[in-house]
Homo-oligomer: A and B are copies of this chain.
Amino acid sequence: MNEILLKNVYTNGKRCDLLVRGNLIATIADSIDAPGAEVIDCSRMAAIPGFINMHTHAAMTMTRSAKEDTPLMPWLQHIWKIEAQYDKEILYWGNKLACLEMIKSGTTCFNDMYWGLDVASKAVDEMGIRGVHSYCMLDNGDMVKAEKERRALIRDFEESKSLSSRNMFAVSVHAPYTVCEDNIRWAAMFAEENNLLVHIHLSETEQEIIDAQEKWGCTPVEYCERLGLLSDRVIAAHSLWLTPHDIELMGQYGVTAVHNVNSNLKISSGYKFKMEELMAAGANVTLGTDGCGSSNNLDMLEALKTAALLQKAWRKNPAAIPLDTLLKIGTENAAKAIGLNAGVIAEGRLADIVLIDMNNSWFTPNYDFEANLVYSANSSCVDTVICDGRIIMRGRKVEGEQEILDNAAACGERLMSRIR
């Protein structure tokens, strides 16, 4: 069985050896001998769990930088115009580019909301990362479309059963305001019957709350509860505009909230994410980058830093969100949400490991590794990435990188020529 020995690595607060066997972390000890194992000298490196990006639209890398400094509606309309021109090849290279960018910034798993399971799973397979795919139901109240969406989701779910273990599948409801009541109820039932996660955009903007009160006489979270959607399988992207009762409900049902700080800031959705309140209520708090249309990159380390800075700022408390809590938001909490045996560096866990190069100014001096990782470094400190026991980046080099960049750039040019 494939073995990788991380020699003299800094992890969980001390130096040790770590042996990967197959796709698992087999042993962590002061000193390990493993003849035949591939040895990585980690004397200047630290091992952390791979980040898990809990909300993105991977193929939207192809909309990156397409429309900047623009108010929400004209921006959205432009993005939709571009997306309407996507074909399978654009989707494929968009996904490959996203995987490449995530690997290079230390992400080993992402929770995606989009379409095109076939090409998305192909990209994940080839790149060696993990992906939770979905079919994103969006009917805008059109009953004919609603029926088609259910069928398409079922078709993708069936297709997902034959995918490799690194590809997972979730039910996705675009948002309470874009999916009809029947389909939300159906999604809840289908997810429960098949033990699937439910990925949804929830309470992202203030306007959404105003509209919900007008339409349903309650908040979007309350509406989801009424339709039987809330459960600990729900991954609620944004969860930004929450009432105390919403927070109580999310805690009670054990919902996972995904904070998308950079996207929320950039499109001016808000910034007072109720991180502490959600945790105190018993909800699970995680982090995402959102798609590159709104937040421009897929860098979880950057998102962690911005999230922490914002909490400290608007709460007027420099002690808000200590580092150990923060790092769990990017790893352990997310693994728990999707039922993945990862997110911590411990024996018996999946070998989804990121090696951080500490031989640079960001980690000098290194009084506090976690502080330097989040507040000083950027993601180019990620040197090596191991996912499912396989090395998928080594010395910042990913196989096939130039081919991906060239093809994605060509796809971008094709897209632009179509919308001009």
Residues of A within 8 A of B (CB): 61-62, 64-66, 68-72, 75, 97, 100-101, 104, 262, 264-268, 270-271, 292, 295-297, 299, 302, 306, 309-310, 312-323, 359-362, 364-369, 371-372, 375-380, 402, 404-405, 408-409, 411-413, 415-416
Contacts and interface: CB of A to CB of B under 8 A. Distances in A.
A366 B412 contact: yes
B296 A372 contact: yes
A61 B318 contact: no
A149 to B, nearest CB: 29
A262 B376 CA distance: 11
A125 B333 CA distance: 48
Question: Which 8 pairs from chain A and chain B are nearest by CB?
Answer: A365-B412, A380-B380, A296-B375, A265-B309, A65-B368, A101-B361, A65-B371, A378-B378
A359 B409 CA distance: 10
A309 B310 CA distance: 11
Contacts of A271: 313-314
A288 to B, nearest CB: 16
Contacts of A408: 361, 364-365
B372 A66 contact: no
Given A309-B265, A309-B266, A292 B366 contact: no
Nearest to A262: B309
Contacts of A367: 64-66, 412, 416
Contacts of A409: 364-366
Contacts of A321: 69
A68 B268 CA distance: 29
A69 B100 contact: no
Given A318-B70, A319-B69, A309 B306 contact: yes
Given A75-B318, A318-B75, A318-B268, A413 B375 contact: no
A299 B302 CA distance: 13
B376 A65 contact: yes
Given A265-B313, A315-B268, A364-B405, A375 B297 contact: yes
A72 B320 CA distance: 12
A265 B366 CA distance: 22
Contacts of A262: 309
A152 to B, nearest CB: 28
B361 A267 contact: no
Contacts of A312: 265-268
Counting chain B CB atoms within 10 Å of each CB, the highest count among A306, A365, A405 belongs to: A365
Nearest to A294: B318
A366 B65 contact: yes
23 contacts: A64-B364, A64-B365, A65-B372, A68-B322, A68-B323, A68-B368, A68-B371, A68-B375, A69-B319, A69-B321, A69-B323, A97-B364, A101-B362, A266-B309, A266-B312, A271-B314, A292-B376, A296-B376, A297-B376, A306-B309, A364-B405, A366-B409, A367-B412
